[in-house]
A = this chain, B = another copy of it.
Amino acid sequence: MRIMKVEKTLVSTNRQAELGHKPLLVVRDKAGATPLVAVDAIGCVPGDWVICVSSSAAREAAGSKSFPSDLTIVGIIDHWNPEDAPAGA
């Protein structure tokens, strides 16, 4: 699983019906990294450091085997110091 920071909600009015109304959040693993989109299965707010599961496990974690997710937030980290990730990482 990846450690990522929640930035904001992503608005997509024209979306597949299977996505339902689950919130889609923009997440990044560090400043300057390429942003990704994760399904929120927990209830996060911007600024939270979260645990994101990818691969086939992201589907069921998002609610069902047919949910079209490849990145789902499954936990909020109690305390995370990004400085633990060296600058050269």
Contact = CB atoms under 8 A, between A and B. Distances in A.
Main secondary structure of the interface of A (DSSP, over half): loop
Interface of A: 1-3, 10-16, 18-19, 24, 26, 29-38, 41-43, 51, 53-61, 66-72, 74-79, 84-86, 88-89
A6 to B, nearest CB: 13
A81 B20 CA distance: 24
Given A69-B53, A71-B1, A61 B16 contact: yes
A2 B76 contact: no
A27 B26 CA distance: 19
A26 to B, nearest CB: 8
A27 to B, nearest CB: 10
A26 B42 CA distance: 20
